[in-house]
Amino acid sequence: MELEVRDGRVEVALPAVIDLPAAADLRDTLLDALARDSGGDVVLKADGVERISTAAVQVVLAAASSFRAAARRIEVAGATPPVTEAFRLLGLGAELDLVS
């Protein structure tokens, strides 16, 4: 996953499948974004996601907490039905609303 800075925000285009190995890559990408000096918010572009694992959901929620602590924001943009369904099935629909 690559970071792209646009209009002061860091954008991350998520892959179609975010399984366990991709969740680890997402974690590393978000840690890189958090370490950047830009101070900009991060947008996870989820419009192409076809499947997301529980591990990836955990990474997103943990990152949201870390970004809040750094006075920054993480946003999930264009969440597809598989993304919203994964959060809902885990009982985390409200948490997705906070980052969408």
E strand residue ranges, the chain: 3-6, 9-13, 17-18, 42-45, 51-52, 74-77
- Residue 77's pLDDT band (cuts 50, 70, 90): very high
Output the CA torsion sign for 74, 33, 69, 19.
Answer: positive
- Residue 49 makes CB contacts below 8 A (sequence gap 6+) with 14, 15, 16, 17, 18, 79, 80, 82, 83
Q: What pLDDT is stored for residue 47 in this prediction?
A: 96
Q: What is the mean pLDDT of residues 79-84?
A: 96
Q: What pLDDT is stored for residue 54 in this prediction?
A: 97
**Tens digit of each residue's pLDDT (9 = 90 or more) over 15-74:** 999 999 999 999 999 999 888 766 788 999 999 999 999 999 999 999 999 999 988 999
